[in-house]
Every structure is written in structure tokens, then in C-alpha cells.
Amino acid sequence: MSRSANSLLVVASAALVLAGCGSGEPAPASGDAKVTGDVTVFAAASLTETFTQLGKDFEAAHPGTKVRFNFGGSSALAQQLNQGAPADVFASAAPANMKQVTDTKAITDAPTTFVRNKLAIAVPKGNPGKIAGLPDFADAGKKIALCAEQVPCGAAAKKVFDAAKVTPAPDTLEQDVKAVLTKVSLGEVDGALVYQTDVKAAGDKIEGIDFAEAAQAVNDYPIAPLAKAPNAAAAKAFVAFVLSDQGRSVLSAAGFDSP
């Protein structure tokens, strides 16, 4: 075989090798590396139903992952994070509680507001206490439940009562909105203030009453990955999933408003 024929054979062989390499799936870009492992999410109690669903959807989209949640009052969650509780993501029901964590540098990425929420009056089915509006929350003869002021639903409640010029007479102050909702669903109180999404999530267990002053206290919900997230890649992926069209669709269906 001549030298020129040999050269042609080498070139042809190389071309076949390259073609074979190109026939498979392309190597993933560095930003598309497979996400696996546990993802620990600290989230406001009012996100319980939606984030539980989003956790299942995220696991389905990323086989090999497991989303673990810690739901509670945003102020308590912020305190836990600042005390070193291991977590990958924090989703707060108010910017003030997110700021508590960013101020300590436990979160360094700029948080993203992903939904908004507002309050509604919640009463037991049939409204046995005959609650008609915010003025009834000042009636000492009625049993009333509110969130404590240090948690977002309590801070929002204070704003609406101030706007309505009503001084409430609560019988109990709870540390998160789900505890307040439980008091209503069990018929332990005549009325309470919870988020509109909680009323919707409760279904026919309770009844909701809208009121105009709710527009004076709309809560922004920020989300961010923790600076020292044990699973940083999964933390960023979960935040991106919440912000995706699929995530927004689940949140919107639950009654959350877009930011």
C-alpha cells in the first residue's frame, strides 16, 4: 500500500472514531450535573401543602433525591438556622425573617420573592360564633385565635387591625398559622385570622370570610439556598424548581398570588 493510501486510511479511521463518539448523548454541561441526595428545606408553615407537593414533584424530576421538610413559624425557623441547624433551603413567609438569616451571613445569595399571600377570617363550619368582620375580634364574648406578633401571620394581623382601628381581644396566640387553623377546625374558637391559602387548603372543614383591610398587609415570601448547604447543588436546583413554571402552577392553584 502506498504512503498516500495509508494516510487516507488513518484519516478515515479517525473520522469513524469521532463519529462513534458523537453518536451517544453529549456529556452534560457543568451546570447540568445530576442532582442526588437529601435536600433539607426549612419552610413557613403556610407552605406545608404546596411544598409537600413540590417536594414529590422534585423527587420525580430528580431520581435519587429525597426532600425533607421542617415546617414552622418563620421566626422560629430563622432562629434555628442562625443557631447552626443544618439545612439547604429557607423559604420564609416574610422578608423580615429572611433578613434575620441573611444578616448573619447564613444566606449569602440574594433571596427571591416567589409568592405573596394575604389574610382571611377563618370560622368553624356554620359560623356558630356569628363572626361577620374584624370588629367582632374586639368582642371579649367571642373566642378568638391569632398568631403571635413575632411570626409573619401575627405581624400581618397587627397591620390589618391597625388599619381597621380595631383592638383585638384574642384568647390565644399561636406560634404558627397552622396551629391557629387547628383551633378553628376543631371548633375551639369562634374566629381567627389565617392566610387565604390556609382557608383554601382546609376545604370544607372551615369557612373563610374576606375583608377589605387584608390588602393593607400582603406578605412577600422569599426563598434562598443556605450558604453552607450540605447539598449545595440540590439546594440551588430546588429553589430553581420552585421558581419554575411547574412550581408557580402548584403555588397558584393553592391560592398564592404572584409577586
Note the pLDDT of residue 224: 98
Buried b (16+ CB within 10 A) or exposed e, 169-196: ebeebbbbbbbbbbbbbeeebbbbbbbb
Sheet holding 65-72, edge to edge: 65-72, 37-44, 89-91, 219-225, 112-117
Domain boundaries, the chain: 36-116+221-253, 119-216
Note the pLDDT of residue 1: 46
Note the pLDDT of residue 20: 39
Of 44, 259, 43, the C-alpha closest to 151 is: 44
Query: Do 185 and 77 contact (CB within 8 A), yes or no?
Result: no
Which three three-digit cell numbers place residue 108?
449569602
CA distance 67 to 69: 7
CA distance 53 to 50: 5
Note the pLDDT of residue 33: 60
119-216 CATH: 3.40.190.10
Query: Do 119 and 156 contact (CB within 8 A), yes or no?
Result: yes
**Crossing angle of helices 152-164 and 95-102, rounded to 10°:** 140
Architecture of domain 36-116+221-253: 3-Layer(aba) Sandwich (3.40)
Question: Which residues make Cβ contacts (< 8 Å) with residue 186, sequence separation at least 6?
Answer: none
Note the pLDDT of residue 12: 40
Q: Do domains 36-116+221-253 and 119-216 have the same CATH topology?
A: yes
**What are the average pLDDT values for consecutive 10-residue runs of the chain, which has 259 residues?**
42 38 35 81 97 98 97 97 97 97 96 98 97 97 97 96 97 97 97 97 94 95 98 98 98 96
Note the pLDDT of residue 31: 39
Buried b (16+ CB within 10 A) or exposed e, 65-102: bebebebbbbbbbbbbbeeeeebbbbbbbbbbbbebbb
